[in-house]
Amino acid sequence: MSQPEQLPARPTIKSVARHAQVSYQTVSNALNAPERLRPDTLTRVLRAVEELGYRPTQAARNLRLQTTRLIGFRSTRSDGQGVSSIESRFLYALTSAARDRGYGVILFAADGDEDEIAMFEDLVSRGAVDGFVLSGSHRHDPRTAWLAEREVPFVSFGRPWEKTSFDYSWLDVDGHAGTVAATEHLAANGHRRIGFIGWPEGSEVGDDRYAGYLAAAADLGLPTRGLTVRGLDGIGAGTQLAAGLLGKAHPPTAFVCVSDAMAVGAMHAIEHRGLAVGRDVAVIGFDDSPLATVVQPAMSSVRQPLESIARRCVDLLLDRIDDPRSAVLTSVVEPTVIARGSSNPDHPSPPDGA
Amino acid sequence: MSQPEQLPARPTIKSVARHAQVSYQTVSNALNAPERLRPDTLTRVLRAVEELGYRPTQAARNLRLQTTRLIGFRSTRSDGQGVSSIESRFLYALTSAARDRGYGVILFAADGDEDEIAMFEDLVSRGAVDGFVLSGSHRHDPRTAWLAEREVPFVSFGRPWEKTSFDYSWLDVDGHAGTVAATEHLAANGHRRIGFIGWPEGSEVGDDRYAGYLAAAADLGLPTRGLTVRGLDGIGAGTQLAAGLLGKAHPPTAFVCVSDAMAVGAMHAIEHRGLAVGRDVAVIGFDDSPLATVVQPAMSSVRQPLESIARRCVDLLLDRIDDPRSAVLTSVVEPTVIARGSSNPDHPSPPDGA
């Protein structure tokens, strides 16, 4: 016999089970798979539900008493330049981490925030997921408020870029620290005129990486004036932007690039001028995507620890699913410089003859 | 009043609905979300279920009366060389196509067939999906038999590589036709000594692509003896294998490669010998992955129409879900040669000076 307990302020599936003198699983079956129960048991459970006034919250009911063991994640379009390979790596890591905790991942296509929210609504109303992992956070991001208002568990890979009236758990990579490390790496190899190839002002991630480059250059007493160019991401764009800087009277001897695609473009521009990447002009990218080892020389890049981030996203989300009042945790992870031939002055130049 | 109907040999959810004088949706609710029904309605429906002896088949019951609107698909590990980018492109296309039909995709990690079957079992027993899209078919593939025996709807991207005792719908790309087209493309550019860089014998897809090269060479009266090399996929492997052929007394002047990774490796080997890719030695890859536009010159490749394949996979699967007796359809799709600088003799060689 257990001690008599105070009736909880709000009936739960557990209090229904006690009241009907059945197991938690039987209540869950009554609500989710009633055909598995004998009619008299089912009737008893449903009567207990009614007597206690048990009403799962909308979100909890929609989430089918949190028994889907599925996590929602938005799929991102591959743009044909390998940029999505980072997403692909994160997705595999997320799927593996989820599986280790007995969860699957529901992947859904969405174009933009409103569309993603429409998918949230659909999946939540269908009771198809226990919660979501978000990515691609940005200013004026309506997704977190939508989920928070409906008490749908979620965690974000990507920090909030502005104040919100609610708290939520997130993980992010410290892009600023990444470009600081990249700039210091090039300076340690003797470079004094270090250029920066970035994205247009206004992208949170891009601005953060640009700020890291500026801060490191200031700390090291290096010039930046006339050494920074910014444009939309892509190999072609990187080639054009780097060519512009290389054509100047005092060109940079090294490039910190906001992405691997930009860095591959910079390598092309260097080669087009008949210079040797690594020996004459150094390049470092960001993301350590598969592009980095496709080019010659292999490309230095700033690597994001996606596998550990994915694992921690899953852990935080499942904590949240288990207990909606679990602690909100936020964490910024430092990326690592992976040094390869493109920033190595000793990299052998390609042979000139057969 | 509808005409009196013969009682079907096997009761269905529709006959239960008629018997209980409720809608199909009410029967579905009684079985899946009984708390939405008034107790008397619920009792009437469950009595009809019992009186008719309605028993959904195990698979159908597990699939929760086919109302999940979710498709299962295995996630593939990115191997860090961009090879998975094809999978990433297919996955996005699959997700988009599913969404257009009101479906989501459940992605799950699995290492090998047995592990994937364990995931099938888990998802089916949890009633988490309506069916599966398979990829990576091969000989002695136990997955299709497992699904077919349990009457779980599925469609395969990838043909059966041996006779099966059951039929199922599949789509595949004609790899043989792809390497025929690649070989003809190089021959049309004047090449007579065309080498082949393939995967080790025993991989169904690799053998098929190799056979296409051999068939085209035979048709065109081109030599193949001493011009073919095979090894495990990768850029490094491609470099080594191509270097071996280029070091021969009578080296090939062009390479048909079984994959883009192999082709990038071949380009590196050509450059290492101080030769110009496209002008001196031509290269064509397979898959038209993002790698193809990262390298310089841009790489010719055989492109798989993944978007249309994904769409047809979804259509075929949903037909199957709607009607388990829907027609079995199989289709082999021709890939297309995308010609770029790596197989173009007029491609400008890189400038030699600044």
Can you tell me the distance from the alpha carbon of A218 to that of A224, in angstroms, rounded to the nearest whole number? 8
* Residue B10 banded pLDDT, cuts 50, 70, 90: low
Q: Is the bond leading into B34 cis (omega within 30 degrees of zero)?
A: no
Lowest mean pLDDT among A57-61, A248-252, B10-14, B217-221: A57-61
Q: Per the structure block, which two tokens stand in for A167? A: 């708290």
Distance between CA A282 and CA B206 in Å, rounded?
38
Share of chain A above pLDDT 70, in %: 88
* Residue-wise pLDDT tens digits, A333-342: 999 999 999 9
pLDDT at residue number A58: 35
Residues with Cβ within 8 Å of A219's Cβ and at least 6 positions away in sequence, in order, are none
The H or E element that residue A293 is part of is helix A291-294
Q: Is B274's CB within 8 Å of A95's CB?
A: no
β-strand partners of B196: B228, B256
pLDDT digits 0-9 by tens, A104-159:
899 988 888 999 999 999 888 877 889 999 998 999 999 999 999 999 999 999 99
- Interatomic CA distance for residues B210 and A48, integer angstroms: 68
Among the ranges given (A180-184, A339-343, B78-82, B135-139), the one the predictor scored with the smallest mean pLDDT: B78-82
Question: For position B84, what pLDDT does the model report?
Answer: 52
**Euclidean distance between CA atoms B27 and B46, whole angstroms:** 8
Token code pair at residue A10: 């709000």
Residue B4's pLDDT is what?
41
The share of chain A scoring above pLDDT 90, in percent, equals 58
Per-residue tokens: A78 = 């591959």
- How does residue B61 score in pLDDT terms, banded at 50, 70 and 90? very low
Distances (CA, A) of B123 to A286, A293, B129: 37, 37, 6
Mean confidence (pLDDT) of chain A: 86
H/E stretch holding A27 reads helix A24-32
- The amino acid present at B177, given as its one-letter code, is A
- pLDDT-based confidence at A67, cuts 50/70/90? low
B36 touches chain A (CB under 8 A): no
Q: Of the ranges A254-263, B29-38, B55-64, which one carries the lowest mean pLDDT score?
A: B55-64
pLDDT surpasses 90 at A308: yes
Q: Which residue has the higher pLDDT, A341 or A37?
A: A341
B78 pLDDT more than 90: no
Q: What does B199-218 look like in DSSP terms, one character per residue? A: PPTT-HHHHHHHHHHHHHHH
In the predicted model, what is the mean pLDDT of residues B64-69? 60
Binned at pLDDT 50, 70 and 90, residue A346 comes out as: confident
The interface residues of chain A toward chain B in range 258-277, judged by CB-CB distance below 8 A, are 264, 268, 271-275
The proportion of chain B whose per-residue pLDDT surpasses 90, expressed as a percent, equals 58
Look up residue B341 and give its DSSP letter: G
Alpha-carbon span B27 to B11, nearest angstrom:
13
In percent, the amount of chain B with pLDDT more than 70 equals: 88
pLDDT confidence of residue A63: 40
A101 touches B: beta carbon within 8 Å: no
Q: Which residue has the higher pLDDT, B176 or B65?
A: B176
The C-alpha torsion from B205 through B209 and B212 to B218, rounded to 10°, is -130
pLDDT score of A220: 98
Task: Please list, residue by residue across A272-298, b when 16 or more beta carbons sit within 10 angstroms of its beta carbon and e when fewer do.
Answer: bbebbbbeebbbbbbbbbbbbbbbbbb
Cα gap B106→B164, rounded to integer Å = 27
Phi-psi map region of A330: left, alpha, beta (phi>0 left; psi -120 to 50 alpha):
beta
The structure tokens listed for B89 are 């492109």
Mean pLDDT of chain B: 86
Say if residue A80's pLDDT is above 50: no
Residues of A in contact with B31 (CB under 8 A): 33-35
Token reading at A280: 């004459």
CB B276, CB B199: distance < 8 Å: no
Which whole number is the average pLDDT over A83-92? 74
Q: Which of B350, B330, B251, B320 is nearest to B63 (CA)?
A: B320
Judge whether A53 is closer than 8 Å to chain B, CB to CB.
Answer: no
Give the pair of three-digit tokens for residue A194: 């270090």
Read off the pLDDT band of B241 (50, 70, 90): very high
- At residue A348, the pLDDT reads 53
The residues, any chain, with a CB within 8 Å of residue A170's CB and separated by 6 or more, are: A137, A155, A156, A157, A158, A159, A160, A330, A331
What's phi and psi for A91, nearest 5 deg? Answer: -65, -45
> What was the pLDDT predicted at B81?
44
Among A23-32, A335-344, B55-64, name the one with the lowest average pLDDT. B55-64
Residue A76 DSSP SS3: coil
Q: Give pLDDT, residue A33.
A: 67
Decide if pLDDT at B253 tops 60. yes
Is A32 touching B (CB cutoff 8 A)? yes
Is the alpha carbon torsion for B139, B143, B147, B153 positive or negative?
A: negative
Structure tokens belonging to residue B352: 């030699």
SS (H, E, C) A210-240: HHHHHHHHHHHCCCCCCCEEECCCCHHHHHH
Q: Give yes or no for a contact between A31 and A65, defined as CB atoms under 8 angstroms apart.
A: yes
Q: How far is it, in rounded angstroms, from Cα B201 to Cα B215?
A: 16
B275 vs A87, residue with greater confidence: B275
> Which ranges of chain B does DSSP label H, i.e. alpha helix?
13-20, 24-32, 39-52, 58-62, 85-100, 113-125, 142-149, 175-188, 204-220, 235-246, 260-272, 306-322
A319, A326 Cβ separation under 8 angstroms: yes
Residues within 8 A of A (CB atoms), B 233-262 only: 235
What is the distance between the alpha carbons of residues A173 and A181, in angstroms, rounded to a whole number? 13
Walk me through the domains of chain B, giving residue ranges and CATH numbers.
13-55 (1.10.260), 65-173+306-333 (3.40.50.2300), 175-304+339-343 (3.40.50.2300)
| pLDDT band at residue B62 under the 50/70/90 scheme | very low
Higher pLDDT, B184 or A351: B184
Tokens of B347: 């491609």
List the single residue in A34, A106, A271 with the smallest CB-CB distance to B106.
A106
Q: Please tell me the distance from the alpha carbon of residue B42 to that of residue B263, in angstroms, as a whole number.
A: 64
Q: What's the pTM?
A: 0.74
The one-character DSSP state at B92 is H
Q: Classify B283 as helix, strand or coil.
A: strand
CB B43 to CB A46 under 8 A? no
SS3 (DSSP) at B325: coil
pLDDT value at A277 more than 90: yes
Q: For B273, which DSSP code?
A: T
Q: How far apart are CA B63 and CA B124, in angstroms?
A: 6
Residue B280 above 60 pLDDT? Answer: yes
A352 contacts in B (CB within 8 Å)?
Answer: 274
Please name the helix (run of DSSP H) or strand (run of DSSP E) that holds residue A147, with its range, or none. Answer: helix A142-149
A127-146 burial: b if 16+ Cβ within 10 Å, else e: bbbbbbbbebbeeebebbeb
- Report whether pLDDT(B71) > 80: yes
Residue in A88, A235, A351 closest to B84 by CB: A88
- B291–chain A Cβ distance below 8 A for any pair: yes
pLDDT at B77 over 50: yes
Q: How far is CA B262 from CA B83, B88, B238, B267, B276, in A?
A: 10, 19, 4, 9, 17
What pLDDT does residue A184 have?
98
**pLDDT score for B66:** 44
Q: Which of B128, B264, B273 sits opposite A70 (nearest CB)?
A: B128
Residue of A nearest to B34 (CA): A31
Among B109-113, B297-301, B345-349, the range of highest mean pLDDT? B297-301
Nearest neighbour of A104 by CB, restricted to B80, B128, B272: B128
